[in-house]
């Protein structure tokens, strides 16, 4: 259904319009999907569910309500601004002319929450500890302890490391500063070290979550001219700054390549958290969460989850999205086992 046809329905101009048709008003699932998409900052999903709501009201003959809803949605869309406007929300100290810090840090206030992630219980417990110790940091320091601040996330791609950094910032109400490694790592170690210093200085000036995503991967991506020794020197430089850092900001580093890291690296962090692909229960939760707005009561979950075993959270989420799109294009709200099996099978054949 297109937005125009919803509006036509609201105006009562659609040929197939039957005022006495018995279609329920907002379903519980739609309301949940609305709230969830708002919480996740997923605007396109939010508006698409809102549009379904308006269409439903038009179908049951609530033309005035449907028309009001379409107006509200149109107005909201017209006013909507991207949630992440780095320059507008960059805290004041960062706006000061301090070399090229602006190119090194991308600031945002994430809408994600840890509760949006599907995580093994022990992993979630570690993240909860970070939240508690950060919130009660002053209390701990007062008694001579240092709260957990330097955290390493390790594990295969698509298991939620980047999302975790955003969710920690979201739950703590702190800004997220994603360090732009492409701007940071240059051919010259001296320059890289100077830029790293800018970033670590910023941690003391503006409290936040400072996220070094796939640090080693970027260092390792720089081509054949870049020998292991050079990567090692950049990493060592980072670790030195990390060791000296005593601010109240949270430093999170993520990597897909546990093999590149030795014990000396792990030692500099307060906590290392290992991510892995989901087990059956977690895989089902990822799929179900993603399909929350749709009818899934006929799905044979054990079969689908079995077919998707070994896939990452991200791949499962993409498979769910594909099945959802198929259902929408079929003009049906029901997700079938077949649709999901096909979608999961395709993720298997063409990983990423
Ligand atoms: N643990 C998880 N729970 C729910 N969804 C997840 C999880 N991990 C990944 N996803 C989905 O996959 C996407 C990519 O995940 P991401 O955090 O970038 O993975 P990583 O950084 O480990 O490669 C996320 O935006 C989310 O949609
Ligand atoms: Mg990532």
Pairing of strands 105-108, 176-179: antiparallel
Q: Are residues 94 and 235 in the same domain?
A: yes
Q: Which ligand is nearest to the CA of 217?
A: 2
Cα 42 to Cα 9, 11, 61, 72, 172: the distances in Å are: 26, 28, 29, 18, 20
Q: Give the full edge-to-edge strand order of the sheet including 250-255.
A: 105-108, 176-179, 209-213, 250-255, 150-154, 271-274
**Can you tell me which atom of ligand 1 is nearest the CA of 155?**
22
Q: Are residues 68 and 175 in the same domain?
A: no
Q: Are residues 234 and 128 in the same domain?
A: yes
What does the block give as tokens for 15?
Answer: 């040929």
Q: Are residues 167 and 239 in the same domain?
A: yes
Ligand 1 contacts CB of residue 347 (under 6 A): no
Last residue of a domain, one of 220, 247, 274: 274
Last residue of a domain, one of 274, 296, 313: 274
Closest residue by Cα to residue 257 from 178, 154, 152: 154
Q: Say which CATH number the domain at 154 has.
A: 3.40.50.300
Q: Are residues 36 and 149 in the same domain?
A: no
Q: Are residues 130 and 269 in the same domain?
A: yes
User: Considering only CA atoms, which residue is closest to atom 13 of ligand 1?
Assistant: 314
Q: How many independent structural domains does the chain possess?
A: 3
Q: Are residues 98 and 130 in the same domain?
A: yes
Contact status, residue 293 vs residue 30, Cβ threshold 8 Å = yes
Gap from CA of 300 to ligand 2 centroid (Å): 31
Q: Are residues 163 and 288 in the same domain?
A: no
At residue 337, the pLDDT reads 95
Ligand 1 contacts CB of residue 178 (under 6 A): no
At residue 11, the pLDDT reads 55
Q: Are residues 106 and 221 in the same domain?
A: yes
Q: Are residues 171 and 247 in the same domain?
A: yes
Tell me which residues of the chain have a pLDDT lower than 50.
Answer: 13-24, 82-97, 218-225
Gap from CA of 143 to ligand 2 centroid (Å): 36
What does the block give as tokens for 259?
Answer: 């093999």
Q: Are residues 186 and 262 in the same domain?
A: yes
Q: Say which CATH number the domain at 300 has.
A: 1.10.8.60
At residue 216, the pLDDT reads 67
Q: Are residues 214 and 343 in the same domain?
A: no
Which of 45, 122, 317 gets mutated to test ligand 1 (max ligand atoms within 8 A of its CB)? 317
Last residue of a domain, one of 225, 252, 274: 274
Closest residue by Cα to residue 308 from 257, 256, 349: 349
CB contact set of 5 (below 8 Å; sequence gap of 6+): 14
User: Considering only CA atoms, which residue is closest to atom 27 of ligand 1?
Assistant: 314
How far, in whole angstroms, is CA 41 from its chain's centroid?
10
What is the domain range of residue 313? 280-349
Which of 40, 41, 158, 321 gets mutated to test ligand 1 (max ligand atoms within 8 A of its CB)? 158
**Can you tell me which atom of ligand 1 is nearest the CA of 117?**
3
At residue 13, the pLDDT reads 45
């Amino acid at each position: 259904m297109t937005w125009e046809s919803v509006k036509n329905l609201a105006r009562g101009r659609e040929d197939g319009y039957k005022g006495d048709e018995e279609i329920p008003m907002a379903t519980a699932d739609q309301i949940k999907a609305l709230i969830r998409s708002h919480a996740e900052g997923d605007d396109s999903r939010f508006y698409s569910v809102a549009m379904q709501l308006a269409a439903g009201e038009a179908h049951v003959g609530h033309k005035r309500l449907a028309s009001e809803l379409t107006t509200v949605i149109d107005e909201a869309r017209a006013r909507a601004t991207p949630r992440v406007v780095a320059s507008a929300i960059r805290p004041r100290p960062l706006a000061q002319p301090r070399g090229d810090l602006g190119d090194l840090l991308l600031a945002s206030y994430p809408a994600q929450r840890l509760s949006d992630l599907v995580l093994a219980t022990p992993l979630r417990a570690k993240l909860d500890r970070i939240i508690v110790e950060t919130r009660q940091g002053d209390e701990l320091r007062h008694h001579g302890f240092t709260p957990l601040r330097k955290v390493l996330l390790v594990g295969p791609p698509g298991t939620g490391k980047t999302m975790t950094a955003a969710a920690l910032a979201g739950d703590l109400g702190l800004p997220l500063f994603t360090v732009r490694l492409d701007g940071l790592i240059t051919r010259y170690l001296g320059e890289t070290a100077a830029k790293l210093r800018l970033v670590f200085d910023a941690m003391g000036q503006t409290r936040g979550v400072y996220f070094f995503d796939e640090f080693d991967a970027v260092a390792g991506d720089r081509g054949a001219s870049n020998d292991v020794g050079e990567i090692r020197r950049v990493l060592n430089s980072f670790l030195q700054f990390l060791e000296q850092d005593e601010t109240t900001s949270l430093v999170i580093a993520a990597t897909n390549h546990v093999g590149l890291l030795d014990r000396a690296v792990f030692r500099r962090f307060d906590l290392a958290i290992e991510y892995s692909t989901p087990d059956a229960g977690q895989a089902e939760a990822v799929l179900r969460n993603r399909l929350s707005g749709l009818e899934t009561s006929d799905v044979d979950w054990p079969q689908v989850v079995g077919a998707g075993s070994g896939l990452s959270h991200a791949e499962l989420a993409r498979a769910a999205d594909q099945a959802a799109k198929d259902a929408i294009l079929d003009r049906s709200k029901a997700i079938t086992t077949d649709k999901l099996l096909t979608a999961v099978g395709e993720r298997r054949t063409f990983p990423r």
